[in-house]
Amino acid sequence: MSDFPSIAIIGAGLAGCEAAWQLAERQIPVTLYEMKPQRFSPAHSNPDLAELVCSNSLRANQPTNAAGLLKEEMRTLGSLIMAAAKETQVAAGNALAVDRQAFAHLVTEKIENHPLITIIRTEITELPDSDIVIIASGPLTSEALAEAITPLVGERLHFYDATAPIVSAESIDYNIAFSANRYGEVGKSGDYLNCPLSEEQYLKLIAVIAEGDQVACRDFEDIKVFEGCMPVEAMVARGPLTLAFGPLKPKGLIDPKTGKEAYATVQLRQENEQATMFNLVGFQTRLTFPWQEKVIHLIPGLEKAEILRFGTMHRNTFIDAPKVLNQFFQHQQESRIFFAGQISGVEGYPESTASGLIVGLQVAALAKQQELFTFPETTALGALTSHIGNTQSKYFQPMNINFGLFPDLEGKKRRKRERLEAKAERAQNALQHWLESDIAQKIGFPAPN
């Protein structure tokens, strides 16, 4: 019989798997519930755990970017998801992208083979009576479970997330598309393919997008679209130059055939390790499949592209975190309940993973009869936690990690690059100092040398 409290985790996505791993690595047994393959959400199809849906990209990888800094902090703390991403990484310039199938398979293998993690493949329709419950059911929480947690969270909030199409690499016209990263950041040839458009081609493209048929929406009235995953047709509706100054901006992309920047450029990012598939960066959409085909075939270099996956749009569910949770991702009234992942009010793959890591460590502290803790607010982990626990937020909305969530630097004014470097250095020093604290050792981190 275990000396630890019984712990149930609902949902084996990025957050659930990370939380389970952090606990099990500290010799604390957990039960992990996953409804696949008994039942799939509208956006999922792979029976493996930790399935990536919206993109294969975990975003920026350099520590002078907030998402990159967050990932670096997770690596420092022994993240399973970050380790799996490293092993299944594919080329994507300064971004961390993975082979989605290989990534999910590796995480599944690690979780299934851990002796202290018990996986139960069944849909949870009511909360288990375990001593501690971590709800990490994701942005597409099933209706039955959503109904079960409604008394805990009050009104459920929704927004809508769109995925981008994927095309076959062999169907791209490489006489037009060229390899390059913006400003030549990494490598001589670049990890992205780029399809240049003239002004005439661009205006025709956005005209077709604007008049396109869209998939009929169901079961909702007010569409709340997350800014970081805006459908291409919604961007076009904001103005004719929105795409040209957004995901299609040509700045830093020099077409080797002309030696100049095009009027606009569609970027393609490698989708798998074999580089047989590419997704259209920034082209998430809810246009109908025939209209998506029409739009894609207007893009120079993609006139004969084979579309392997069309873009889709699906509902995301999240709670009003500042009204429901404290700064530990713990329910304000029901202390045995924690939330992690996108349902907790974070947005994005790195952020979901980070919330699972944070909650796993908080529950480990409880299991070891230690007090709950906070990371330094100057770290990315601390900044993310502060956003969730910000009771001053009147209109809460999920947000990607960004340096606007961090405290300002003290002292002299700095140029932008210097500010980013200073914030990254400050965060890394603060996390190292935390690792040397008593609480870090008590929850299982090694003592400093």
What is the per-residue pLDDT across 339-348, written as a single tens digit (0 to 9) for each?
A: 999 999 898 8
Alpha-helix runs per DSSP H in 215-285 = 232-237
Residues 143 and 255 in one domain: no
Residues 423 and 292 in one domain: no
Q: pLDDT-based confidence at 217, cuts 50/70/90?
A: low
Residues 298 and 323 in one domain: no
Residue that has been written with the tokens 């956006």 in this structure: 43
What is the per-residue pLDDT across 64-76, written as a single tens digit (0 to 9) for each?
A: 999 999 999 999 9
**Which helix (H) or strand (E) covers residue 187, if one does?**
none
Note the pLDDT of residue 160.
63
Tokens of 235: 């961007």
- Into how many domains does the chain fold? 2
Tell me whether strands 57-60 and 95-98 are parallel, antiparallel or unpaired: antiparallel
Dist. CA 447–CA 90, nearest whole Å? 34
Dist. CA 71–CA 237, nearest whole Å? 34
Cα 102 off chain centre by: 17
Say if residues 365 and 385 touch (Cβ distance below 8 Å): no
The yes-or-no verdict on residue 30 having pLDDT over 70 is yes
Note the pLDDT of residue 45.
73
State what percent of residues in the chain have pLDDT above 70: 91
Say if residues 409 and 419 touch (Cβ distance below 8 Å): yes
The yes-or-no verdict on residue 43 having pLDDT over 70 is no
Residues 279 and 362 in one domain: no
Q: What is the DSSP letter of 35?
A: -
pTM above 0.95, yes or no: no
Least reliable range by pLDDT among 81-85, 113-117, 151-155, 438-442: 151-155
Residue 99: which domain range? Answer: 7-159+316-442
Mean pLDDT of 376-397: 83
What CATH number is given to the structural domain containing 33? 3.50.50.60
The answer to the question of residue 293 being in a domain is yes
The yes-or-no verdict on residue 141 having pLDDT over 90 is no
Residues 357 and 420 in one domain: yes
Residue with the bigger pLDDT between 56 and 98: it is 98
Residues 431 and 397 in one domain: yes
* SS3 (DSSP) at 278: strand
Residues 320 and 307 in one domain: no
* E strands, 132-240, in order: 132-135, 157-162, 166-168, 178-179, 192-197
What CATH number is given to the structural domain containing 280? 2.40.30.260
Residues 297 and 320 in one domain: no
What is the per-residue pLDDT across 90-113, written as a single tens digit (0 to 9) for each?
A: 988 888 999 999 999 999 999 999
The answer to the question of residue 449 being in a domain is no
